[in-house]
Every structure is written in structure tokens, then in C-alpha cells.
Amino acid sequence: MGDQAKLSAGDQTADFAVLKGSVGPDVVDIRKLYADTGMFTFDPGFTSTASCESALTYIDGEEGVLLHRGYPIGQLAESSSFMEVSYLLLNGELPSQQEMTDFNYTISRHTMVHEQLLQFYKGFRRDAHPMAVMCGVVGALSAFYHDSTDISDPEHRRISSHRLIAKMPTIAAAAYKFAIGQPFLYPDNSLSYTGNFLRMTFGVPAEEYELHPAVERAMDRIFILHADHEQNASTSTVRLAGSSGANPFACIAAGIACLWGPAHGGANEAALNMLREIGTPDKIPHYIERAKDKDDPFRLMGFGHRVYKNYDPRATVMQSTVREVLDALKVDDPLFETALQLEEIALNDDYFAEKKLFPNVDFYSGIILSAIGFPTTMFTVLFALARTVGWVAQWNEMISDPGQKIGRPRQLYTGPVQRDYVPLEKR
Ligand code: SDX
């Protein structure tokens, strides 16, 4: 018999199995708690709840460790590519050279979208937030690809997964082009996944687009850093939507909507806007005090994390990538100095130290993306583009789980107990 956990409440006691993963905290299996005790657990925000079993990504928040299928994020960011990490997340192992060639070929054959889908953009205002466009256009994909929405068919799941990964760069680039009034560019499959995206975004029909190798490498690394992250809010949204049997296109659209929030994927846009508001390092102390003031809703965007109570390993890579890109582009962005000093001051402040608030993946990314030429409104779109492979891999893992069932949490009800209706004339 493995470890057991005992719950005693009033005159009741109940025993529960303790389950062990390959690494990380054990879990108490409470699936029969309600049946045995008539009680629920109560965990708003799921601070102590494991919602599923997964073999994709492991995070040790205390140590600042992030592994994808066992491989440390720092090694993947240094030595891998976004397409290789995508293959790893989807298939569980690093690809052989032939497997990598085949995967690149497969993805490149799905980069175009149905011509009618491009009509959707015309329905938006030019000043629509690109994330609003992404929610609409990605949600509409299921209206075009009926031949891959049967989630019980592994071949449908495979094709729809590849379609989503392959089409996100085309859809994201079109959202940017629409916003700035430039024509859409079709994919060029002679380029890498990331190079293709950069050309569709910044290229114009009037001339050849010259890819900057350092920019292509930095963009690819940023995609790697955003690929997957365990059961974060948007991934949990995708899993919950998928648990009802919704098609994968609709599930990913739900994930995009959740990612948009400033507490989650919207933080990269909010972090750069915050750095611009702070401006020069002499203003930092004022904003640090605001962040500590309970009566002030201001938070240091790009700081803090539900899981990391140490430095987010992705922020470490991101910070070194800032220098690479600014040097390569010969850009001198004073906001980088402001960000470095803000980090330094915050990490030496008791408030941030006690609450274990460190820079997260969103703190430095905006400086790089801005240097490359993206407007802040595109930052979360780029996060969604990269996270699509994680959402798709997590969705596939859930659908393939024989024990999978619809997610349906309960509640602690605090409303009125039963009472009788009173006719209007008697009120
Ligand atoms: C992402 O889950 C993931 O993995 C997400 C992500 C991924 O890859 O999918 O990593 C991507 O979303 C990164 C996080 C991006 N968000 C931000 O940078 C927004 C700013 N940070 C926060 O709002 C906050 O830190 C969260 C939302 C990220 C985490 O919030 P928690 O875990 O619910 O913690 P909390 O809000 O309860 O904060 C704990 C305490 C509070 O103080 P007390 O009420 O205990 O006195 O820390 C304080 C908070 O006020 N706090 C901050 C702060 N973040 C938390 N104070 C000032 N500035 C901050 N940034």
C-alpha cells in the first residue's frame, strides 16, 4: 500500500492515496472525497490543486527550474530551435535528422490559410487590438477546416495540431499588416518557420525582405521561451474547453482570450508600457513605493509569478538576449537601463524579497520585441503564436488520456437558501 493521507472532520475520517510523480510534489488523490465525506475541497485560483497528470513540462518554482520533456529551458534556448522544441513537446523525444526534416516539411505545407479567412480582417476596424483580431480569426478556423475536427480521430487531431502551429504565424502577421494598412504577404516556405513569420510581418511586396540572422535567432529563442508552461491559466482554459469535446480550433481561441489578460500573457505589453511610464531611473523609487502600497492597484508588470518564487529561468535568457539584439541592431534603448535598475532596486527591497517577487518571462521581452520593430499591441500576439504548440500538445495529452472526463468544478455556495416567490403586487 503506498502512502496514505487521512482527513478527519468532525466525526468523519477518510483515507486517501498519495500519488507520486517522477519529480515534484506528491498529490493527495481526492477524487472520492465528496462520495466518501459529502465535502468539497475549496481552492479558488487553484493554488494547491493539481488539475491533471502531465508529462510535458515540469517547473520547480523554488529552484527556478523549467524542463520540457526533461530538457532544461536554458539548454533548449541555447542549442535547439522552436520547430525542434515543438516536435519535442508534441512527440516526447528530440527528433532524428529525418524526423526534423519531415516535421519541417509537414508544418510548411500548412502555412497558408483559406483565402476566405483573409476576408475576416476586413470586418475589423484598423485600430482593433490585434488580440481581438486573433480571438476572432482563430475561432473562425473551425468554420474552414471541418475535415479535421473529429477529436476522436487521431489523424484529425494530428492534422488540426499541425494546421494550428503552421497557420498562427500567417494569421498573426496578417493582424499586424491589417493594423498598419499594408498588404498581406503569403508564406515563403523556403524560409525557416520564424524567418517566414518575420518576412510576412515586416516584408513588403515592393522589395526583397532581408532577414537579419541575429533577429531571426532571437525571435526563434523567444518563441522557445514561450512554448509551454505547465497548467497556466490559458493552458487550463484550453484543457477545460477541450474536456467538453470542443474542436481544437475553438479551444485554442479560448486560450488566446485567456492569455490576453494583463495578469497573464498581456503582461509583456503592460511591462513595456510601465517602463515607458517610468521613463528614467530617477523615477523608479516612486513606482516601487506605488507597487508596495496596498491602496494602489499599481503592480510591477513583469514581476511575480504564481509558481516561480525564484528567478524565472526564461527571464535570465531573455535578459541576455536583449543585449544581443540591441548590439546587433545597434539600438540604444534607455528603457533597458531603466529595466536593469528597476530589477536591481526591487530585488534589494524587503517587500519584493519577502513576497519572492522576481522578474518573469514578460519583464524583458518587450524591450527586444520593440527593438525588432513590433508595436506593444503585438507582444501578446507573439506570446499566443508561440504558446499554440504548448496548448496543442496539452490538448492532445488530455484527449488521449483514457481517464479524461469533462471538467466540472463545484463551489462553496453562499447565496440565499430556498425561499418562496412573492408576486409583484405583494412586494
Ligand atoms: C505569465 O502561470 C504561468 O505559468 C504564467 C506564465 C506562462 O508562461 O504561462 O508564466 C506567463 O503570466 C507570467 C506572469 C505575468 N504577469 C505579470 O507580470 C503581472 C504582474 N504579476 C502579478 O499580477 C502576479 O505576480 C501574478 C498574477 C503573476 C501572480 O499572482 P499570484 O500568484 O496570484 O500572487 P498574488 O497576486 O496573490 O500576489 C502575492 C502577493 C500579493 O501581496 P499580498 O496580498 O500577499 O500582500 O504579492 C503581491 C500581491 O499584492 N504581488 C505584487 C506583484 N505580484 C504579486 N506586488 C507588486 N508587484 C507585483 N508584480
Report the Cα–Cα distance between both ends of the chain, in Å, rounded. 62
Separation of 288 CA from ligand 1 center, angstroms?
Answer: 15
User: Which amino acid type is present at position 161?
Assistant: S
Reduce the DSSP state of residue 236 to 3 states and report it: helix
305 is catalytic: yes
Q: Report d(CA 288, CA 341) in Å as an integer.
A: 11
Residue whose grid cell is 524583458: 364
CB 356 within 8 A of CB 402: no
Separation of 271 CA from ligand 1 center, angstroms?
Answer: 13
**Of the listed 220, 228, 312, 362, which one is catalytic?**
362
- The finding on whether 69 has its CB within 6 A of some atom of ligand 1 is no
Q: What are phi and psi of 303, to 5 degrees?
A: -120, 145
Residue whose grid cell is 488523490: 29
Cα dist from 234 to 57, 135, 182, whole Å: 15, 13, 31
Separation of 227 CA from ligand 1 center, angstroms?
Answer: 20
Q: Is 83 exposed, middle or buried (0-12, 13-18, 19+ CB in 10 A)?
A: buried
CB 257 within 8 A of CB 142: no
**Of the listed 305, 327, 333, 420, which one is catalytic?**
305
In tens digits, what is the pLDDT along the chain, a chain of 427 residues? 679 999 999 899 999 999 999 999 999 999 999 999 999 999 999 999 999 999 999 999 999 999 999 999 999 999 999 999 999 999 999 999 999 999 999 999 999 999 999 999 999 999 999 999 999 999 999 999 888 888 889 999 999 999 999 999 999 999 999 999 999 999 999 999 999 999 999 999 999 999 999 999 999 999 999 999 999 999 999 999 999 999 999 999 999 999 999 999 999 999 999 999 999 999 999 999 999 999 999 999 999 999 999 889 999 999 999 999 999 999 888 999 999 999 999 889 999 999 999 999 899 999 999 999 999 999 999 999 999 999 999 999 999 999 899 999 999 999 999 999 999 999 9
Q: Percentages helix, strand, coil for the chain, rounded to the nearest 5?
A: 55, 5, 40
Q: What is the pLDDT of residue 332?
A: 87
Q: Report d(CA 206, CA 53) in Å as an integer.
A: 51
With the most atoms of ligand 1 within 8 angstroms of its CB, the residue from 51, 256, 306 to mutate is 306
Q: Which atom of ligand 1 is nearest to the CA of 303?
A: 60
Q: Ramachandran region of residue 207, left (φ > 0), alpha (ψ -120 to 50) or beta? A: beta
Separation of 348 CA from ligand 1 center, angstroms?
Answer: 18
Supply the residue whose CA is at minimum distance from atom 2 of ligand 1: 232
What is the Cα Rg of the chain in Å? 23
DSSP calls for 7-28: EEETTEEEEEEEE--SSS--EE
CB 65 within 8 A of CB 59: yes
Q: Report d(CA 34, CA 273) in Å as an integer.
A: 46
Separation of 146 CA from ligand 1 center, angstroms?
Answer: 39
Bridge-based pairing of strands 27-28 and 65-68 is unpaired
Task: Tell me the β-bridge partners of 9.
Answer: 12
Q: Report d(CA 347, CA 11) in Å as an integer.
A: 48
- The finding on whether 291 has its CB within 6 A of some atom of ligand 1 is yes
Cα dist from 298 to 139, 202, 286, 291, whole Å: 33, 34, 11, 5
Separation of 10 CA from ligand 1 center, angstroms?
Answer: 36
129 is catalytic: no
Degrees (nearest 5) of the Cα angle 29, 32, 38? 125
Residue whose grid cell is 503569403: 186
- The finding on whether 342 has its CB within 6 A of some atom of ligand 1 is no
Instruction: Identify the CA nearest to 277 among candidates 299, 260, 259.
Output: 299
Q: What is the pLDDT of residue 382?
A: 98
With the most atoms of ligand 1 within 8 angstroms of its CB, the residue from 236, 355, 394 to mutate is 355
- The finding on whether 299 has its CB within 6 A of some atom of ligand 1 is yes
